[in-house]
A and B are shown apart, each in its own frame.
Chain A
Amino acid sequence: MKLLHLYYDIMNLYGDYANVSALCRMLEKSGKEVTVDRLSLYDTVDLSQYDFIYIGSGTENNQKLVLENLRRYTDDIKSYISSGKCALFTGNSFEMLGKTITDSSGKVYQGLGLLDFTVTEQNKTRVTGDVIYEADFLDKPLVGFVNKCSEISGIDNHLFTVKMGLGDREGSQTEGVRCNNLFGTHLTGPALMKNPHFLTCIAELVMGEKPSTDHLGFEQAGYEITLSELTKRMNE
């Protein structure tokens, strides 16, 4: 199996790389041979050869830089998504897939236009916080953290419903986007490491069969504790 961590050095603000490490280990524990390619701005990429593509969070400036770089692969990404293969874009990386990103000065950047949403940034307040989300394809809630300065409008096929914390914009009850097996969410950092059931779901899509989950003892215990800490806060 071939995994791609794209923009591994410039879109990796919150330990995001560990999402790829978690998936790689689960596939290996399931008996697969895995290679991980870490590529960035100055590399040439053939997306079609990968079984999984990951991009993490970047600063607002770096996201714009990466957007221009990624634009040449717009068609490739489109066919990758239509083929039903799995990709995960976390933090502000998935914002690049929409129609436009308007920055804090009002400048409008054209997105890749693969999805129908629009993004508006501001530079006054950093919007951060712990979250609990639910998904119709998972039997347990997700825990995580959001760290952004943007609001998103116009997502129909949302990924999560918000139980606690921030959604796509203030007051929004939904978060993220799903398109076939492309998952886009503003969860920052190692969301797959922190949510072993989400990891299992992604691994199953990548492998096409049930992965091995025997090695997840600490992950599972860590998830339960965070879920109970966050639930306590939610009920206070």
Chain B
Amino acid sequence: MRVFFTILVCKLLRFVGKLIGKGSSLPGQVALKLCPDILSRVKLPQYIIAVTGSNGKTSTVEMIAHILMSNGKTVAWNKEGSNQIEGVTTLVLNSATLGGKVKCDILLIESDERFAKYTFRYIKPTHYVITNLYRDQLTRNGHPEWVYNAIADSIHDGTRLILNADDPLVSRFGIGKKDVIWFGADKLSSDTAELESVYNDGAYCPVCKAPMTYSTFHYNHIGHFRCTKCDYKRQDTAYTITSVDLDKGEMEIDGKHRISLALKSLYNIYNILSAYTVARIVGIDGDKIAADMNNYVLKNGRVITFKLGKRRGTMLTSKHENSISYDQSIRVASAYKDGCDVVFIVDAVSRKYFTSDVSWLWDIDFEMLNNPNIRQIVLAGRYVNDLSVRFSYTDIPDEKIKRFESIDEAAQYLDSDRGEYIYVITCFSDKGKFLGKVEVD
């Protein structure tokens, strides 16, 4: 009776919430008050697939849902991205019958990496994807080892791990586990022999702390690593990116599935690979997955194309306080052979909480912009001076850089006869301030 009542209340609150445009956390929060162990009292489907990690959670989950649904599976997933226990509770109860049976083939959960341990106390995933561990929002997350410990507390016996073999910080979750499913990339044409990053989170073995070596770097600390002392090393993969051509915008998985990329970036190919891996495990045919992922454009608003006067551009939503997210976006812009202008906006460091900390700017590899493809660099926002200081420690010629504290003035300046394509690299917290000045496609 209590289960029935709690589910009913949750569904009603969600229904009303949707009408008045409220978020998806509150109904779950109320349900957990009414019945704290409600999640362990519902009947869950055969597959419960969880996704966590620093970057790519939302995109990966969206892709998994897209593939599974277009292959006739029913999927319940947290589309709105509310990824702590309250949001997950709303998702589960809203997908359940009043008798407490979740009616879908697959329950797909994006989970916040620090709070996964609370969520999975009640819902044990059958499969658990961990994408990567980066320096992400360290003003709240502390550091990657702190997050590692939080995720480790969320892994329970009987859950099958699906791990990124190329990330030494993630790969460590698989130690001592026999049934891990590994995904990763072979040596790629875009790889480098030396690290290309301001810092090296793969310098020392996460297990024994001896120096590590890499036979190849995909990007930052992601690559083929091996400890010089203990037997910790990159594992062989079951699902593999066998080649990539970022110029042409093509990737190949498992030597046979070619996929054209709507977004020509390495993080996109990893998101596609993890989605592919999950879909294969659920039993979808590789060819079908490749067809579903071909030229797939994310609907989560991370990549937005626009017109500004006569000029065209793309906004690459990146995460402030996340240097690898910025590095990836900078790589995309730097590869634009016809020549482009790049805009960086740091106006509010975060959308959800206040901080004035800009230490993370020093971890971004802005030096990559010192490249003939990049014609002009526009810095804007409240923290334009901090951006300027950071750029003054690169070798980029000062005459390439324009500075505006006001985002309006930056947009006015960009509305010119210049023919160059525009890349805008900024965060959720600041993107609306620029998009309000342009015509979004």
Residues on A lying within 8 angstroms of B by beta carbon are 9-10, 12-18, 21, 25, 41-42, 59-62, 65, 123, 126, 128-130, 143-145, 147, 149, 188-190, 193-194, 218-219, 221-222, 225-226, 229-230, 233
What are the residues of chain B within 8 A of A65 when measuring CB–CB? Answer: 209
What are the residues of chain A within 8 A of B383 when measuring CB–CB? Answer: 222, 225
Asked if residues A130 and B362 are in contact (CB atoms below 8 Å), the reply is: no
Query: A126: which of B142, B203, B211 is its contact (CB, 8 Å)?
Result: B142
Cα-based distance from A17 to B354 in the complex (angstroms): 25
> Apart from A126-B140, A130-B355, A225-B385, what 20 extra A-B contacts exist at CB < 8 Å?
A15-B199, A15-B359, A15-B360, A21-B393, A41-B204, A59-B144, A62-B209, A123-B149, A128-B142, A129-B355, A147-B138, A149-B142, A189-B357, A194-B358, A194-B386, A218-B385, A218-B389, A219-B385, A222-B388, A226-B386
What are the residues of chain A within 8 A of B139 when measuring CB–CB? Answer: 128, 145, 147
Asked if residues B141 and A126 are in contact (CB atoms below 8 Å), the reply is: yes
What are the residues of chain A within 8 A of B358 when measuring CB–CB? Answer: 194, 222
Cα-based distance from A17 to B358 in the complex (angstroms): 14
Interface residues of B in 123-148 (CB under 8 A from A): 135, 138-146
Cα-based distance from A129 to B355 in the complex (angstroms): 7
What are the residues of chain A within 8 A of B66 when measuring CB–CB? Answer: none
What are the residues of chain A within 8 A of B198 when measuring CB–CB? Answer: 15, 17
Give 10 pairs: A residue, B residue, CB < 8 Å, sorted on A.
Answer: A13-B138, A14-B138, A15-B199, A15-B360, A59-B145, A61-B145, A126-B141, A194-B358, A218-B385, A218-B389
Interface string of B353-392 (1 = CB under 8 A from A): 0111111111100000000000000000011011011001
Cα-based distance from A219 to B382 in the complex (angstroms): 14
Asked if residues B203 and A10 are in contact (CB atoms below 8 Å), the reply is: yes
What are the residues of chain A within 8 A of B74 when measuring CB–CB? Answer: none
Cα-based distance from A145 to B349 in the complex (angstroms): 13
Asked whether any CB of chain A lies closer than 8 Å to the CB of B200, the reply is yes
Asked if residues B204 and A10 are in contact (CB atoms below 8 Å), the reply is: yes
Asked if residues A143 and B356 are in contact (CB atoms below 8 Å), the reply is: yes
Q: Which 4 A-B pairs rank lowest in CB-CB distance, beginning with the nearest?
A: A189-B359, A15-B362, A222-B385, A126-B142
Interface residues of B in 149-208 (CB under 8 A from A): 149, 198-200, 203-204
Cα-based distance from A147 to B200 in the complex (angstroms): 20
Asked if residues B146 and A15 are in contact (CB atoms below 8 Å), the reply is: no
Cα-based distance from A9 to B360 in the complex (angstroms): 16
Asked if residues B385 and A221 are in contact (CB atoms below 8 Å), the reply is: yes
Cα-based distance from A73 to B393 in the complex (angstroms): 32
**Contact (A219, B389) CB under 8 Å given A9-B200, A12-B199:** yes
Asked if residues B138 and A42 are in contact (CB atoms below 8 Å), the reply is: no
Give, as a whole number of angstroms, the nearest-CB distance from B189 to chain A: 28
What are the residues of chain B within 8 A of A230 when measuring CB–CB? Answer: 356
Cα-based distance from A17 to B321 in the complex (angstroms): 17
Cα-based distance from A190 to B393 in the complex (angstroms): 13
**Contact (A15, B389) CB under 8 Å given A59-B145, A147-B142, A222-B383:** no
**Contact (A42, B211) CB under 8 Å given A14-B359, A61-B145, A145-B355:** yes
Asked if residues A226 and B362 are in contact (CB atoms below 8 Å), the reply is: no
**Contact (A218, B388) CB under 8 Å given A128-B140, A147-B139, A225-B382:** yes
What are the residues of chain A within 8 A of B356 when measuring CB–CB? Answer: 130, 143, 145, 226, 229-230
What are the residues of chain A within 8 A of B135 when measuring CB–CB? Answer: 13
Cα-based distance from A44 to B429 in the complex (angstroms): 46
Asked if residues A145 and B142 are in contact (CB atoms below 8 Å), the reply is: no
Residue of A nearest to B199 (CB): A12
Give, as a whole number of angstroms, the nearest-CB distance from B383 to chain A: 7
What are the residues of chain A within 8 A of B211 when measuring CB–CB? Answer: 42
Find the residue from B359, B363, B392 having the highest chain A CB count within 10 A.
Answer: B359
What are the residues of chain A within 8 A of B389 when measuring CB–CB? Answer: 193, 218-219, 222
Asked if residues B355 and A17 are in contact (CB atoms below 8 Å), the reply is: no
What are the residues of chain B within 8 A of A222 when measuring CB–CB? Answer: 358, 383, 385-386, 388-389
What are the residues of chain A within 8 A of B204 when measuring CB–CB? Answer: 9-10, 41, 62
What are the residues of chain A within 8 A of B359 when measuring CB–CB? Answer: 14-16, 145, 188-190
Give, as a whole number of angstroms, the nearest-CB distance from B396 to chain A: 14
Cα-based distance from A135 to B244 in the complex (angstroms): 55
Asked if residues A15 and B361 are in contact (CB atoms below 8 Å), the reply is: yes
Cα-based distance from A188 to B358 in the complex (angstroms): 11
Give, as a whole number of angstroms, the nearest-CB distance from A18 to chain B: 4
Cα-based distance from A129 to B350 in the complex (angstroms): 13
What are the residues of chain A within 8 A of B360 when measuring CB–CB? Answer: 14-15
Asked if residues A17 and B362 are in contact (CB atoms below 8 Å), the reply is: yes
Cα-based distance from A17 to B139 in the complex (angstroms): 17
Interface residues of B in 31-78 (CB under 8 A from A): none
